[in-house]
Chain A
Amino acid sequence: MKRLTPKGLIWIKGLLHVSFLSPIVYLVLLVMTDNAGGDPVQYIIHFTGMGAINSLIITLVVSPLAKFLKQGMLLQTRRLIGLYVFVYASLHIAAFISLDLLFAWGYLLQEVVKRPYILVGAVALIIVALLALTSFQAIKRKMGKDWQQLHNWVYVVAILAPIHFYWSVKSEIIEPSIYFVLFAALLWLRRSQIKKWLLKR
């Protein structure tokens, strides 16, 4: 297979931007045209949550895929995809706070305490936010070796996210189970790396 050129990479990145942005445009259109159900609130929260979890899957697929295709340059798309995980997760929590809780900040704390699945989601979001904040080149350089240590926390998110999903549904087991399997497989592919990471800590 031909080596990916920097120009090719730009094309791939452009395509990724379109693929990650278009669902958001689609959601806005659905809501504006009254096609997100009688109560769009749960629809929006679910849609953005699934967006975050799917983006997370895709970002974890990149490195095994790059290895398989022997296209190291693909690794450069991970930051872009990871930032979309953050975008979707932020929209998800923003929709929850603004549309569901209606900015009742007092309730937010209560809800986090009373609904353990929200606590799990909140921890995952904080990690994702830290990774997003430290994703700039300058910070990466400054952090040196610590940067990779911190960014390996994405594995923790890969465990918390499906728990949060599974815990939040009323009875549907099958869809969350599929995600458990996907995340487990993606973590299994990195088992030696994860072992190393855990031992170093």
Chain B
Amino acid sequence: MVAKKGFTKGIANTPSWALKENQVTPERVFADRRNIVKALGLGALGASLPGQVQAGLFDLFGSEDKPAFAVQGLDYSKPNQFQISDILTPEDKITRHNNFYEFGTSKQDPFENAQGFQVNPWELRIEGLVDTPLTLDLNDLTTKFDLEERIYRLRCVEAWSMVVPWVGFSLAELLTMAGVSNKATHVAFETLFDPDQMPGQKNRLMGGGIHYPYVEGLTIAEAMNELPFLAVGLYGKTLPPQNGAPVRLVLPWKYGFKSIKSVVKIRVTDKQPPTSWNQLAPHEYGFYANVNPQVDHPRWSQATERSIGEGGLFSAKRIPTQMFNGYAEQVADLYKDLDLRKFY
């Protein structure tokens, strides 16, 4: 069969390596690594060793031959109101610094352990107090909606932050498609539960003691705001698993842990749903988890954050944290009757 020219809706027919010019991030990880190994004279050392030993030596510095999860190019628009001028965090930092305890509690565990993750078949169910329950498969996620790119700041509760170009569609659009009942007060989310694929769900030591499946929730007003975003892509391509493939929530005005990954269920309800970190340590992690420099985590200050940007170890910047992570204009109204010290 001859491939049709142009685009099917959603997934671009152009090969994944043919990125748009403005989307190209230097894939400098490999090049740099080789150069430095060379500069250290380890290249020469390696070359003088027999093949097997050589492989072992380079395994130590990351398995270069490990097949990476295959991502595909996406077709999307760039709505003006969601583009910000902040410098983007480089792709290889976004894909190699992840909290995704299902794949291990260290920041680099998800990158190491998730590459074999199967996203096809996938089922995302939208159910509960809706007019028409929906089930989306993998293809639906990239074809049922007009995809757009939104650049959002991401602020982790651990006081670091990134600037991320997501591709996806708004949560409100999906909920409107399903038709939310007027009895609805909250929306609950659930991550895939698959201990065979997610070693952290199998092993308590590796999974950080979280009760799986990971669950999250929003009020209906929050969910219908323009900001909540279901991301199916990152840097113009489908999401890698460590970032929550094939579909994740992104809530830029809340701490990162609210932005649940690898979602399989969205349930509209009339009760406040349980949320994973709140279950684990309620006095440290509230239901709302709005980014708020005025309200410290019981153990940490939240007044500032380390912004992970371009460049090496000494190039990061420490910046003051903004109320609602800088999205006050869009969301402050949602909380005008709420004491954010109490409802943290």
Query: Which residues of A approach B to under 8 Å, CB–CB?
Result: 29-43, 46, 98-102, 104, 107, 110-111, 114-117, 167, 170-175
Contact = CB atoms under 8 A, between A and B. Distances in A.
Interface of B: 29, 32-33, 36-37, 40, 61-62, 92-98, 101, 105-108, 111, 158, 160, 204-205, 208-210, 277, 280-281, 296, 299-301, 303-304, 306, 308, 313-314, 316-318
A37 B97 contact: yes
A32 B36 contact: yes
Contact of B299 (A37, A46, A167, A171): A167
Contacts of B37: 33
Contacts of B40: 29, 32
A57 B111 CA distance: 31
Contacts of B299: 115-117, 167
Contacts of B281: 171
Contacts of B94: 38
| Most A C-beta atoms less than 10 A away, residue of B40, B205, B277, B306 | B306
28 contacts: A30-B61, A33-B33, A33-B37, A34-B29, A34-B32, A34-B62, A34-B92, A37-B96, A37-B107, A38-B92, A38-B107, A39-B96, A41-B160, A99-B313, A102-B306, A104-B304, A104-B318, A110-B301, A114-B296, A115-B300, A171-B208, A171-B277, A171-B281, A172-B205, A172-B208, A173-B209, A174-B209, A175-B205
Given A34-B92, A46-B106, A171-B280, 15 more contacts: A32-B36, A33-B33, A33-B37, A36-B108, A37-B96, A38-B108, A40-B313, A43-B107, A43-B108, A102-B317, A115-B301, A167-B299, A171-B101, A171-B210, A172-B209
Nearest to B90: A38
Q: Is the interface of B mostly helix, strand, loop or mixed?
A: loop
B26 to A, nearest CB: 13
Contact of A102 (B61, B107, B205, B318): B318
B62 A35 contact: yes
A33 B306 contact: no
Contact of A172 (B97, B105, B277): B105
A188 to B, nearest CB: 25
B61 A35 contact: yes
A22 to B, nearest CB: 12
Contacts of A174: 204-205, 209
Contacts of A31: 313
Contacts of B62: 33-35
A110 B318 CA distance: 14
B316 A102 contact: yes
A110 B116 CA distance: 43
A37 to B, nearest CB: 4
B33 A38 contact: no
| Most A C-beta atoms less than 10 A away, residue of B92, B204, B313 | B313
A38 B317 contact: no
| Most B C-beta atoms less than 10 A away, residue of A31, A34, A114, A175 | A34
Contacts of B313: 31, 40-41, 99
B303 A33 contact: no
Contacts of B301: 107, 110-111, 114-115
Given A172-B105, A173-B209, A174-B209, A39 B308 contact: yes
A171 to B, nearest CB: 5
A111 B296 CA distance: 11
A122 to B, nearest CB: 15
B308 A38 contact: yes
A171 B209 contact: yes
B304 A99 contact: no
A36 B29 CA distance: 12
Contacts of A111: 301
A81 B204 CA distance: 33
Contacts of B111: 37-38
Nearest to B35: A33
B306 A41 contact: yes
B304 A41 contact: no
Nearest to A99: B313
A37 B108 contact: yes
A35 B33 contact: yes
Contacts of A107: 301, 303-304, 318
A31 B312 CA distance: 10
| Most B C-beta atoms less than 10 A away, residue of A35, A37, A38, A40 | A38
A171 B40 CA distance: 38
B300 A39 contact: no
Contacts of A173: 209
A28 B314 CA distance: 14
A109 to B, nearest CB: 11
B25 to A, nearest CB: 13
A34 B96 CA distance: 10
B314 to A, nearest CB: 7
A160 B51 CA distance: 47
